[in-house]
């Protein structure tokens, strides 16, 4: 279950733990039994063999929720390897055990279609190399790293991952490209990137950086309405403190958990920082659905808090950071505890609540582009994390969450 902030009454049971406000209390790793490679563990009245550090993907690609549960919250990385025998491409999915909080079935089988690859290469500035990658639809339990070893060498040093949308190659992220040794003297190309979304066909485009600047030939530097992305985000490179980036209501912030955040430096005095923003621009596109009494709380550009660098203490969660930033900048924020799920969820920010702009509306959060399938008080912040709180009017589809598409 996921996306606790988007619950509406008729889906209370089905969507009980919505991401945006599904702020469950933190899990103490000391309470989780450590697994050895040969161990078996009992989970939910079923005996399941604990996953190893390196696992072979079965023919159907399915890693069950019960299997994933055996590595949930565990230290270290867990790899799942597979191979496409037709093209000779091997691939490895890598998950961080500690980032898995809400186990779910994972379909890790990958296909490599040739359809439209040539068209995408042309749309990407006539890129000399291209590869189609179909990732099965699933609820990603954690941001995964994906490593592909091709059965050939690409004479390229620059690569991107993109989607083919309306005849354009829309960039998703950069791809690391390296050369590896195969059998004998054969050289192979290795592609690596973060899999933040799944459920579609994606394309890797590659070329020489000096001759074929692929990354500058795609449509990633503009929004759908043609505006510059940096401007749309509202980031002020000369001043990134939260206090100077507010467009809020001036309301006070409540702390339903009663917790007091720790200092933002460790014992050695090292400062830890992350980036946080809060925006509700989707409401501007769904104005007719907005409760009329809430119109004054929607900023003209949709930004309640522009992208702001803030300090945090090790062990703090996304919820802790949101609470403190809202308190420090006088942005109203409301959350409540749901005993049935043992969790808090964020109902409203800046007086904008779930269902204020339709029955599929509410708050969601993402970290580094990934929408976690568990509550914000379970996600511990790391240095340089980019936390985005976004108001959705369509159960996440309008803010980039692919799960419900």
Average pLDDT over residues 144-172: 95
- Please report the pLDDT score of residue 188 as a whole number: 96
- Please report the pLDDT score of residue 353 as a whole number: 97
Q: Are residues 190 and 258 in the same domain?
A: no
Characterize the bridge pairing of strands 273-279 and 386-392.
parallel
Q: Are residues 211 and 257 in the same domain?
A: no
Asked whether residue 1 is assigned to any structural domain, the reply reads: no
The closest of 315, 320, 314 to 333, measured between CA atoms, is 320
**Torsion angle defined by CA atoms of residues 197, 198, 201 and 207, in that order, rounded to the nearest 10 degrees:** 40
The closest of 346, 370, 358, 54 to 196, measured between CA atoms, is 370
Question: Between residues 235 and 172, which one has the greater pLDDT?
Answer: 172
> CA–CA separation, 148 vs 177, rounded Å?
10
Predicted TM-score of the model (pTM): 0.74
Q: Position of tokens 């039994």?
A: 33
Average pLDDT over residues 354-382: 93
> Residue 327: left if φ>0, alpha if ψ -120 to 50, beta else—which one?
alpha
> CA–CA separation, 16 vs 145, rounded Å?
28
Average pLDDT over residues 44-49: 66
Per-residue tokens: 337: 């505890």
The closest of 365, 354, 294 to 325, measured between CA atoms, is 365
Q: Are residues 362 and 249 in the same domain?
A: yes
- Please report the pLDDT score of residue 228 as a whole number: 45
Residue 309's domain spans which residues?
A: 229-399
Average pLDDT over residues 138-144: 93
Is the pLDDT score of 44 beyond 60?
no
Q: Which DSSP string do the residues of 213-225 spell out, in sequence order?
A: -GGGSSSTTB-TT
Q: Are residues 65 and 135 in the same domain?
A: yes
Q: Are residues 144 and 38 in the same domain?
A: yes
Asked whether residue 24 is assigned to any structural domain, the reply reads: no
Asked whether residue 154 is assigned to any structural domain, the reply reads: yes
Instruction: Please answer whether residues 127 and 117 qualify as being in contact, where contact means their C-beta atoms are separated by less than 8 angstroms.
Output: no
Q: Cα dist. 128→122, 209, 216, 255 in Å? A: 9, 12, 15, 54
Q: Which residues pair with 366 in a beta bridge?
A: 388
- Please report the pLDDT score of residue 276 as a whole number: 98
- Please report the pLDDT score of residue 249 as a whole number: 41
DSSP E strands in 246-385: the ranges are: 273-279, 303-311, 333-338, 343-349, 352-353, 362-367
- Please report the pLDDT score of residue 24 as a whole number: 42
Q: Which of 162, 188, 216 is the endpoint of a domain?
A: 216
Q: Which DSSP string do the residues of 157-208 spell out, in sequence order?
A: SEEEEEEEETTEEEEEEEEEEEEEE-STT-EEEEEEEEE---SEEEEEEEE-
What 3-state class would DSSP assign to 280?
Answer: coil
Mean of the per-residue pLDDT values for the chain?
A: 80
Average pLDDT over residues 57-72: 97
Q: Are residues 359 and 252 in the same domain?
A: yes
- Please report the pLDDT score of residue 345 as a whole number: 87
Looking at mean pLDDT, say which of 1-15, 23-37, 180-194, 320-334 comes out highest: 320-334
- Please report the pLDDT score of residue 34 as a whole number: 31
Angle at 365 between CA 364 and CA 366, to 5 degrees: 135
CA 182 to chain centre: 33
Confidence band for 336, pLDDT divided at 50, 70 and 90: confident
CATH number at residue 371: 2.170.130.30
Q: Are residues 238 and 362 in the same domain?
A: yes
- Please report the pLDDT score of residue 216 as a whole number: 53
What 3-state class would DSSP assign to 384?
Answer: coil
Q: Position of tokens 């509406």?
A: 8
Least confident among 14-28, 133-147, 173-187, 317-331: 14-28
Per-residue tokens: 19: 């991401």
- Please report the pLDDT score of residue 37 as a whole number: 30
Average pLDDT over residues 203-208: 96
The tally of domains found in the chain comes to: 2
């Amino acid at each position: 279950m996921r996306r606790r902030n988007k619950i509406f009454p008729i889906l209370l049971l089905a969507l009980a733990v919505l991401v945006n406000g599904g702020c469950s209390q933190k899990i103490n790793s000391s309470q989780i039994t450590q697994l050895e490679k040969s161990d078996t563990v009992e989970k939910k009245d079923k005996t399941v063999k604990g996953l190893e550090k390196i696992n072979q993907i079965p023919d159907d690609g399915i890693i069950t929720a019960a299997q994933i549960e055996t590595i949930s919250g565990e230290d270290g990385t867990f790899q799942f390897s597979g191979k496409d025998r037709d093209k000779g491409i091997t691939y490895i999915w890598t998950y961080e055990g500690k980032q898995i909080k809400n186990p779910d079935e994972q379909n890790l089988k990958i296909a490599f279609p040739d359809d439209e690859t040539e068209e995408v290469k042309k749309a990407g500035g006539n890129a000399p190399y291209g590869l189609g990658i179909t990732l099965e639809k699933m609820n990603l339990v954690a941001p995964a790293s994906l490593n592909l070893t091709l059965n050939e060498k690409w004479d390229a040093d620059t690569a991107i991952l993109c989607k083919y949308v309306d005849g354009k190659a829309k960039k998703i992220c950069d791809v690391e490209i390296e050369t590896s040794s195969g059998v004998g003297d054969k050289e192979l190309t290795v592609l690596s990137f973060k899999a933040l979304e799944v459920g579609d066909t994606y394309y890797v485009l590659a070329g020489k950086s000096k001759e074929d600047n692929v990354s500058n030939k795609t449509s990633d530097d503009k929004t759908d309405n043609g505006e510059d992305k940096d401007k749309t985000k509202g980031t002020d490179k000369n001043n990134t403190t939260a206090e100077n980036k507010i467009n809020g209501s001036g309301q006070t912030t409540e702390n339903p958990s009663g917790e007091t955040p720790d200092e933002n430096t460790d014992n050695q005095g090292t400062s830890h920082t992350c980036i946080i923003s809060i925006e509700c621009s989707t409401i501007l596109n769904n104005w007719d659905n907005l409760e009329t009494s809430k119109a004054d709380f929607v900023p003209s550009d949709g930004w309640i808090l522009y992208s702001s660098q803030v300090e945090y203490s090790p062990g703090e969660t996304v919820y802790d950071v949101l609470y403190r930033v809202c308190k420090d900048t006088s942005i109203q924020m409301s959350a409540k505890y749901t005993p049935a799920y043992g969790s808090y969820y964020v109902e409203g920010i800046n007086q904008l609540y779930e269902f204020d702009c339709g029955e599929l509306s509410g708050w969601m959060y993402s970290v580094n582009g990934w929408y976690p399938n568990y509550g914000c008080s379970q996600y511990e912040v790391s240095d340089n994390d980019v936390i985005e709180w976004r108001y959705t009017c369509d159960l996440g589809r309008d803010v980039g969450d692919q799960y419900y598409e």
